[in-house]
């Protein structure tokens, strides 16, 4: 085995995994949004639910917000409320995809007035970050085109660069811009930031505070995501993960559900590059929706899936691996990885939770807590939060 088990436990104890506020609202597909009992009706109730995930896993220091879905009157009050519940406000996710004006795109739109509207929104997000004390602005753009000839692909890149530059200049000294890519959807012919290379190019032009966000669900089937991760880490430009799983397109399913081995391979590259070290620039964030499963349990499962993949990656015997690699011993090298991957790390993680005063099994403990029944009884009336709220 690789790192000793005490070191594995200590690393996972300090590995924070941010949860998204939008995981707790109702969600679905373009065909149907299913509603659930007890779903939050405002951003405060979303934070209360996220705090439960932290309470039982001990792994969730921060909650990502989505603007305007999580707009509140008083962000300082909101931040204080979160703090009282044991969490802090995290990444601010911009939203330049829900207004009618964005039909032909936001920051890449051919109309300068609409581009300005989009940039103003990004700047407003930074204003909010200043109040909440958040460091990260995450930008995912729905911009693209549906038909060849619809717009000039290169002009759109120029507009993108210009808009990002204005936003980048507004960042404070400790604030970062995380530029997310996605290979298609909602546009079907071209996407303005479709891949890591495009995101990386723009980040390089912008400066050191711009980093790439790898959303694990945003790649074509068969893509070697760990290679992308290794490359970005090598260049010092991997700023964040958005975790989720996909079988087909961007499904936003529970991380590690579709292919836990892939998640392990990605975490192995992160570990290879020191991405779990103290002071790492990489942030770890869930970006998921729970359409048919219960939401808080879905989030708890996601956290434990990430912890299991990280624990296995930390168990890789790097010395034995390097030796086998340098000797050209293909099977021995592969065995080293498989040994770690095939280790049942659940007892180790249970032990780790006990050491920090938690139940070894966060899912069981949450289900026994009665919180789900409590919110189902209490949260009646009012509009449940969902997409667009
Ligand atoms: C849309 O694909 C998306 O899931 C992106 O991954 C963003 O991170 C998220 O929505 C929130 O805007
Ligand atoms: Mn994402």
pLDDT, tens only, 248-299: 988 999 999 999 999 999 999 999 999 999 999 999 999 999 999 999 999 9
Residues 355, 269, 297, 16: is their CA dihedral positive or negative?
positive
- Ligand 1 contact via 69 beta carbon (within 6 Å): no
**What's the order of all strands across the beta sheet hosting 176-180?**
19-20, 62-66, 88-93, 136-139, 176-180, 210-215, 238-243, 283-286
Q: What kind and span of H or E run contains 145?
A: strand 144-145
DSSP-based three-state secondary structure for 148:
coil
- Ligand 1 contact via 70 beta carbon (within 6 Å): no
- Ligand 1 contact via 180 beta carbon (within 6 Å): yes
pLDDT of residue 170: 98
* Cα 33 to the center of its chain, rounded Å: 22
- Ligand 1 contact via 18 beta carbon (within 6 Å): no
Ligand 1 atom with the smallest distance to the CA of 217 is 6
CA of 287 to the centre of ligand 2 (A): 5
Ligand 1 atom with the smallest distance to the CA of 180 is 8
Of the candidates 334, 214, 194, the residue with the CA atom closest to the CA atom of residue 267: 214
Ligand 1 atom with the smallest distance to the CA of 215 is 6
Residues near 213 by beta carbon (within 8 Å), at least 6 away in sequence: 138, 140, 178, 179, 180, 181, 199, 239, 240, 241, 242
Ligand 1 atom with the smallest distance to the CA of 242 is 8
CA of 140 to the centre of ligand 2 (A): 7
* Dist. CA 18–CA 54, nearest whole Å: 10
Contact 321/1 with Cβ under 8 angstroms?
no
* Dist. CA 63–CA 250, nearest whole Å: 22
pLDDT of residue 283: 98
Q: Is 194 exposed, middle or buried (0-12, 13-18, 19+ CB in 10 A)?
A: middle
Task: Choose which residue among 20, 215, 216 to substitute to test ligand 1 binding: the one with the highest number of ligand atoms within 8 A of its C-beta.
Answer: 215
Q: What kind and span of H or E run contains 92?
A: strand 88-93
**Hey, which residues does 89 pair with through a beta bridge?**
63
* Dist. CA 142–CA 96, nearest whole Å: 7
Contact 8/348 with Cβ under 8 angstroms?
yes
| Residue ranges in the chain modelled with pLDDT below 70 | 1-3, 387-389
* Dist. CA 309–CA 226, nearest whole Å: 13
All domains of the chain in start order, with CATH: 5-378 (3.20.20.150)
CA of 33 to the centre of ligand 1 (A): 17
- Ligand 1 contact via 93 beta carbon (within 6 Å): yes
CA of 140 to the centre of ligand 1 (A): 6
- Ligand 1, atom 7, lies closest to the CA of 140
Mode of pairing for the β-strands spanning 27-28 and 33-34:
antiparallel
DSSP-based three-state secondary structure for 209:
coil
pLDDT of residue 338: 98
pLDDT of residue 3: 65
**Whole-model pTM over 0.95:** yes
């Amino acid at each position: 085995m690789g790192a000793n088990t005490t070191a594995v436990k200590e690393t996972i104890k300090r590995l924070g995994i941010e949860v998204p506020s939008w995981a707790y609202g109702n969600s679905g597909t373009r065909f149907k949004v299913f509603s659930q009992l007890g779903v939050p009706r405002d951003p405060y109730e979303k934070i209360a639910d996220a705090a439960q995930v932290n309470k039982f896993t001990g792994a969730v220091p921060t909650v990502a917000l989505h603007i305007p879905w999580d707009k509140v009157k008083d962000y300082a009050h909101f931040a204080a409320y979160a703090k009282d519940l044991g969490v802090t406000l995290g990444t601010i996710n911009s939203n330049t995809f829900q207004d009618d004006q964005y039909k032909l795109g936001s920051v890449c739109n051919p109309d300068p007035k609409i581009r300005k509207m989009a940039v103003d929104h990004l700047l407003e997000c930074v204003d909010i970050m200043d109040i909440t004390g958040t460091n990260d602005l995450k930008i995912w753009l729905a911009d693209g085109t549906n038909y060849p000839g619809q717009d000039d692909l290169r002009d759109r890149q120029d507009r993108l660069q210009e808009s990002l530059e204005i936003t980048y200049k507004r960042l404070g000294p400790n604030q970062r811009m995380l530029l997310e890519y996605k290979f298609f959807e909602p546009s079907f012919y071209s996407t303005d930031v479709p891949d890591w290379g495009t995101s990386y190019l723009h980040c390089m032009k912008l400066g050191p505070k711009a980093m790439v966000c790898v959303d694990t669900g945003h790649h074509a089937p068969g893509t070697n995501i760990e290679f992308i991760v290794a490359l970005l880490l090598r260049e010092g430009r991997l700023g964040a993960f958005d975790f989720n799983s996909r079988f087909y397109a961007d499904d936003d399913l529970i991380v590690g559900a579709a292919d836990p081995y892939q998640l392990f391979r990605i975490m192995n590259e992160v570990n290879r590059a020191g991405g779990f070290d103290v002071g790492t620039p990489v942030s770890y964030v869930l970006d998921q929706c729970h359409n048919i499963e219960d939401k808080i349990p879905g989030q708890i499962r996601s956290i434990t899936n990430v912890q299991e993949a990280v624990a296995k990656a930390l168990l890789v015997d790097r010395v034995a691996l390097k030796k086998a690699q340098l000797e050209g011993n293909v099977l021995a090298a592969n065995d080293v990885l498989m040994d770690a991957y095939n280790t049942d790390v659940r007892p180790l993680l249970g032990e780790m939770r006990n050491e920090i005063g938690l139940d070894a099994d966060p899912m069981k403990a949450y289900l026994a807590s009665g919180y789900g029944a409590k919110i189902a009884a209490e949260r009646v009336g009012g509009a449940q939060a969902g997409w667009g709220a």
